[in-house]
Structure 1
Amino acid sequence: MSTTTDLVVTRIFDAPRELVYRAFVDPDQLAAWFGPVGFSVPRDSVDIEAKVGGHQRFTMVSDADPAQASPIDATFTEVVENELLVGEQDISAVSSVEGAVMRLRVEFHDEPGGKTRLVLTQGPYAPEIEPMAREGWASSFTKLDTLLA
């Protein structure tokens, strides 16, 4: 029997909650920061409709080998402007599990001094994959820090 785990990342950003939220739903901003260092998101691949039943579609591409691409096609299941984004993506094509679904929950909380505490929960992950996903988000968030500065 295989076990899975959810990735949970908490990060403080030196920017108001509205600006951090906007970086997730504005196509220009998402293209500017998403993906770990060494990967980019072509702006023309980004399409976001931030509402329940809406979608977030884009392609993350390796800078070193553009043939290495990861398309994202998620559907929003919960959206509370400036507070919460929840989505899911059918990952059957890359999983051995038929009907496998990857879920992503991003919470935006006010912190003192005009900062934002972001709590990201994503999964399920196989335990051996979770550390790579954690590192990928940490690297992406370094790029987001730069965008928000």
Structure 2
Amino acid sequence: MTELVINRIFDAPRELVYRAFVDPDQLAQWFGPVGWSVPRDSVVVEPHPGGRHCYTMVNDADPSQTVTIEATFTDVVPNELLDGAAVAPDGTKMRLRLEFHDEGGKTRLVLRQGPFTEELAEMTRTGWGSSFTKLDDLVAAR
């Protein structure tokens, strides 16, 4: 099992990037790889320790294909950190940690997620990359 680590620079202040993760309206606009959508009415974000983080991704080509994520925040520092846990369908406890760093008006996001098999880690990396392309567009428009 491996932990996925992604470093990504967004051309926007960290407050805007952080808000895109905790504002349900914004999360619904960008989350999920290209070809998948997140209906706004499926999103619950309670950014505090013990708060829920839930949403459903729907395949645009085949709406019968859905993925529902239900996680709990374990640690939150506004504009700096979102840390949470979820239980995968196979019972594996998964962790997602997002660190938001100021890079002179830009944001360096450090994402840590896992544990994964090597194959699932690469699929997840690809999914995040596709999602982040949509996030780039959202924060650039602000």
Q: Deviations 1:67-98 (Å, cap 9, x if unpaired)?
A: 1100010000000000000010011x2x2xxx
How far the C-alpha of 1:100 sits from its partner, in A, is 1.4
Q: Deviations 1:6-64 (Å, cap 9, x if unpaired)?
A: 11000000000100000000000000000000000000100110000001110011001
Instruction: Please tell me whether residue 133 in structure 1 is matched to residue 124 in structure 2.
Output: yes
Q: TM-score by structure 2 length?
A: 0.97
How far the C-alpha of 1:126 sits from its partner, in A, is 0.6
In the alignment, which residue of structure 1 is the partner of 2:108?
117
User: Equivalents in 2 of 1:143, 1:27: separation in Å?
Assistant: 15
Aligned length: 140
Local SS of the residue matching 2:75: strand
In the alignment, which residue of structure 1 is the partner of 2:51?
54
User: Equivalents in 1 of 2:58, 2:6: separation in Å?
Assistant: 23
Percent identity, please. 67
Local SS of the residue matching 1:76: strand
Q: State how 1:13-52 maps to structure 2 within 5 Å.
A: 13-52=10-49
In the alignment, which residue of structure 2 is the partner of 1:100?
92
Q: Which amino acid is 1:148 matched to? A: V
Q: Which amino acid is 1:32 matched to? A: Q
Instruction: Please tell me whether residue 65 in structure 1 is matched to residue 62 in structure 2.
Output: yes
**Runs (5+) with no aligned partner, structure 2:** none
- CA RMSD in angstroms, aligned pairs only: 0.6
Local SS of the residue matching 2:26: helix
Q: Which amino acid is 2:55 matched to? A: F
User: Equivalents in 1 of 2:94, 2:83: separation in Å?
Assistant: 11
Q: Which amino acid is 1:34 matched to? A: F
Q: Which has the larger radius of gyration?
A: 1
Local SS of the residue matching 2:71: strand
Given candidates 78, 81, 84, the residue that maps to 1:84 is: 81
User: Equivalents in 2 of 1:6, 1:40: separation in Å?
Assistant: 26
Q: Which amino acid is 1:76 matched to? A: F
Q: TM-score by structure 1 length?
A: 0.92
